[in-house]
Amino acid sequence: MKSLVVARDPGILGATPVFVGTRVPVRNLLDCLEGGYTIDEFLEDFPTVKKEQVLAFLEDTKADLELAVTA
């Protein structure tokens, strides 16, 4: 699912992972959450990102982490 939510393209920010259809790096979300922002505050600051993208990214990341921990 991440490939539908996150893209890497050499022509967009040097292949930095970004939310599909935007130039917003996924790292921005992680930095905002780490800094105490809510998802809604992140979305206010980055209106080109859809809430569904953020939630799908977090769910996929959670699933990846669960797989890594059980492996």
pLDDT band at 26 (very low <50, low <70, confident <90, very high): very high
- Reported for 56-62, long-range contacts at CB under 8 A and 24+ positions apart, including other chains, are 56/1, 56/4, 56/5, 57/2, 57/5, 57/6, 57/19, 57/26, 57/29, 59/1, 60/1, 60/2, 60/5
Q: What does the pLDDT average to over 17-36? A: 97
Position 65 scores a pLDDT of 84
Q: Is it the case that residue 5 has pLDDT exceeding 60?
A: yes
Percent of the chain with pLDDT over 90: 80
Domain residue spans of the chain:
2-70
**Domain 2-70, what fold?**
Arc Repressor Mutant, subunit A (1.10.10)
- Strand, helix or coil at 38? coil
Position 9 scores a pLDDT of 94
pLDDT band at 1 (very low <50, low <70, confident <90, very high): low
DSSP state of 10: T
